[in-house]
């Protein structure tokens, strides 16, 4: 009996797929034609593979990466947040609240020395202080907030080390 290969191999990437993902991570605007030339294939297989990678969720989205300082955001700060109460309801409440703040660009629930790690962008120290005092610290259930100000971005996101 015949077993459909498509069924078995769904969500299995090969070397070509990995190469495509690497190229698209480096440059989301690279053309299908350009990828095809680099991988010694024609546009059709590349086009179909890219669409498949998008459809199956390997590629979540495409984004323009901005220069935050040029955009007027001089400060990048990481905050280690510790909560008082840790029942699910309290966690959900905190997570819902924190998402509202546009200054918070990332938020992770972590296992370690504190509860949440958040990344904040602010125009300047004054705005950051305003965020901290009037927004973050005003949330109920906050026990401790420890700020780390970014001085240098030694390495910023280049691309995932796909195994």
For binding to a second copy (CB under 8 A), which residues are involved?
11, 21, 24-29, 56-68, 70-73, 76, 78, 95, 98-99, 102-114, 116-117, 121, 123, 146-163
**Residue 1, contacted partner among a second copy, DNA, none, CB below 5-8 A by kind:** DNA
**Residue 31, contacted partner among DNA, a second copy, none, CB below 5-8 A by kind:** DNA
- Closest approach of DNA to the CB of residue 41, in Å: 4
Residues 66, 72, 77, 82, Cα dihedral to 10°: -100
Distance CA 105, CA 107 (A): 7
**Residue 65, contacted partner among a second copy, DNA, none, CB below 5-8 A by kind:** a second copy
If one counts every other C-beta atom within 10 angstroms of the C-beta of residue 128, the result is: 21
Among 1, 111, 151, 160, binds DNA (CB under 7 A): 1
Using alpha carbons, select from 127, 130, 109 the residue that is nearest to residue 118.
Answer: 109
Distance CA 55, CA 13 (A): 13
Residue 37 or 95: the one with the smaller Cβ distance to DNA is 37
**Residue 4, contacted partner among DNA, a second copy, none, CB below 5-8 A by kind:** DNA
- Closest approach of DNA to the CB of residue 29, in Å: 8
Distance CA 16, CA 76 (A): 37
Which residues, 32 to 71, sit near DNA by CB under 7 A? 32-33, 36, 40-45, 47-49, 51
> Phi/psi of residue 122, each to 5°?
-140, 155
Is 4 buried (19+), middle (13-18) or exposed (0-12) by CB count in 10 A? exposed
* Contact positions vs DNA (CB under 7 A): 1-9, 16, 31-33, 36, 40-45, 47-49, 51
């Amino acid at each position: 009996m015949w077993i459909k290969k498509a069924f078995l191999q769904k969500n299995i990437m090969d070397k070509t797929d990995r190469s495509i993902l690497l190229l698209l991570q480096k440059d989301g605007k690279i053309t299908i034609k350009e990828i095809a030339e680099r991988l010694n294939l024609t546009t059709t297989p590349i086009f179909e593979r890219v669409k498949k990678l998008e459809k199956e969720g390997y590629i979540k989205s495409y984004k323009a990466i901005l220069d935050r300082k040029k955009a007027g955001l001089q400060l990048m700060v990481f905050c280690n947040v510790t909560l008082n109460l840790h029942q699910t309801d309290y966690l959900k409440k905190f997570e819902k609240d924190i998402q509202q703040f546009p200054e918070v660009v990332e938020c992770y629930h972590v296992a370690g020395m504190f509860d949440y790690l958040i990344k904040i962008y602010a125009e300047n120290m004054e705005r950051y202080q305003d965020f901290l005092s009037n927004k973050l610290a005003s949330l109920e259930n906050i026990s401790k907030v420890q700020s780390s100000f970014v001085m240098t971005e030694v390495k910023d996101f280049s691309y995932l080390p796909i195994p």
